[in-house]
Amino acid sequence: MSTPSISTAIRNSLEILAISDKSTGIKAKFGDDLNRVDRYSLDFGQFYMDMSKTHISQELISIYMEFADEIDFVGKREALLAGERVNNSENRSVLHTLLRDTENQGISMSDDDVLAQAKASKAQFVDQYHQIQGQLSKREHSIKDIIHVGIGGSSLGTQLVFEALKDLNSSIKVHFIGNIDAHQLVDVLSQCELASTLVIGVSKTFTTAETLQNLDSIASWFKTGGVSNPLAHFFGVTAAPSKAHDYGIPANNVVSFPNWVGGRYSVWSSVSLSAALVIGIEKFEEFLSGAAALDKHFYTQNLESNGCFLAAMLDHYYVNFLDVKSRAIFAYDYRLRSLVDYLQQLETESNGKDRQRDGGPVDQQTSPVVWGGVGTDVQHSVFQMLHQGTSLIPSEFILVRDPDHKLIDHHQELLANGLAQTAALLEGQDKAQIDNIHAQDGLTDLAKKAKIFTGERPSTTILLDRLTPKTLGALLAFYEHRTFCFGVFANINSYDQMGVELGKRLATQVKPLLESGQAQKSAEVFDPSTLSLLNKVRNS
């Protein structure tokens, strides 16, 4: 039997507060505290966050401060930074912050050699970046397209960085291929010209089945185009250089990163080579420095004013005490269109767990479903559910004050919509207001009742002055540390991902069974439903 992750006293306090919050709502909190906006807003330097439209309160913070003491939150934060083996199921340290701050905020590491590895890795990436740029400058045809082949953490962060930070008039397009579905591959290849295309394969182990199969198919495309040795023109990014060499990537074309870099935390490493080649190494360094600045906030700020701690506190409170099942994130900037996909992996792969750190079953809810989209598109689809649906869904709005284009009317309309949605979610409208607004419109009573919005829907607004390498780095680091904090509250290991393994293993058993003559081998392995589906696929 696992030790309870939340003491009875803390749980009781939060349950009592939740009853009060459900009955009084959020709007009343503004009336009770005229300084509420200032009290619950934080300026991180790189961006500003307003949490006043949520259920945050001094009472809630006080309870979580007691909770933090009980679970030694500060000690766990120090253990993370000191390089202790916080990934206990795999007996590994979690060291990705070293990629953006090789001085480690001045905190002593449990293994001094790791700092040297981090510095060497960062210097090696810069050196290899310049070498590759030198190679590209000697090509007969300039690069117009980069095909980045990788899946999950080997792609999502890099795609986000590329889309967010590339110049609007960039002459190079990066195509990201992760899916094994060849429809994606065929579509990409149809847009590229052989002579002006660069291929970068990214895999930590360089054994990822989907990545290698996609690379094989791209190599065949090169051969069809008359290139006798396609792999001589490919680059590989990996923590296992020997595996890339064995595959056929020339040694000079292999870019490595440390084995301790986790997949969903690898955006800070040479995994982002394709994005760095487009935006430039200087901007990539700024991206790292923005994250390091946020790291300093998380590591040094007192918990009661620590934005990562407070955001995770709200996440945990909503999921476990206010019956919340999901959290929505809306980026009101087209350049951040891949942010939700990135954060889905970061948060749900990290905290979608049903095992406590000691291996016993959890005694609380862990990760909510993370979803969302890009404003204003989503206002004409999912926002109906946000405003009038039966589920309480805390929402986050990410806005950028100053655009990088000159169509100011467009941007003002974009910002107006984002700000208005947060106000509408909070305020709602009752029958009396509707009667007044539509007094001359001749609406039926039924139509008026259909326009009732209860309001009291929580939202957080994150405002960036501009979308720059530094602000993007800080934003992603904020979400990383927030994810860690939630994992500490839930007493789970945020750094393994055992749940993805079974499906992968079974896929290797299913594939041979799709071939004719293999039907009998499946009977002892799979359930009746899967057997039936296998037969239908085979017989089609």
Q: Which residues are catalytic?
A: 349, 380, 504
Structure tokens at 536: 């239908």
Rounded-to-integer distance, Cα 522 and Cα 528, Å:
10
Q: How far apart are CA 35 and CA 275, in angstroms?
A: 43
Is residue 227 a contact partner of residue 233, using CB atoms and an 8 Å limit? yes
**By the 8 A CB rule, do 514 and 341 touch?**
no
Q: Pull the structure tokens for residue 292.
A: 């390091």
**Cα–Cα nearest to 484, from 309, 258, 323:** 309
How many C-beta neighbours within 10 Å does residue 270 have?
A: 25
Q: Which helix (H) or strand (E) holds 235?
A: strand 234-238
SS3 229: coil
In angstroms, the CA 479 to CA 267 distance is 13
Radius of gyration in angstroms for the set of CA atoms belonging to the chain, rounded to a whole number: 25
Across 73-155, the runs of DSSP E, i.e. the strands, are: 145-149
Return the number of other C-beta atoms located less than 10 Å from residue 526's C-beta.
16
Cα dist. 290→102, 165, 373, 476, 510 in Å? 14, 13, 24, 9, 45
Are 331 and 337 spatial neighbours (Cβ–Cβ below 8 Å)? yes
Strands, sheet with 145-149, edge to edge from the N-terminal-most edge strand: 173-177, 145-149, 197-202, 234-238, 254-256
**Tokens coding 487:** 């994992």
Closest CA to 147 of 210, 235, 49, 259: 235
**CA-to-CA distance for 418 and 396, rounded, in angstroms?**
10
- Strand duo 459-464 + 395-400: pairing: parallel
Helix (H) or strand (E) holding 329: strand 326-332
From 458, 464, 394, 399, select the one nearest 48 (Cα to Cα).
Answer: 464
Triad 454, 457, 460: Cα angle to 5°: 155
Q: What residue has token string 């870099």?
A: 261
Length of the chain: 540
Tokens of 232: 């001589």
Would you put residue 405 in left (φ > 0), alpha (ψ -120 to 50) or beta?
Answer: beta
One-letter amino acid of 12: N
Q: How far apart are CA 81 and CA 109, in angstroms?
A: 7
Four-residue CA torsion sign, 310, 316, 322, 325:
positive
Which amino acid, residue 281?
I
Give dist(CA 331, CA 537) in Å, integer. 40
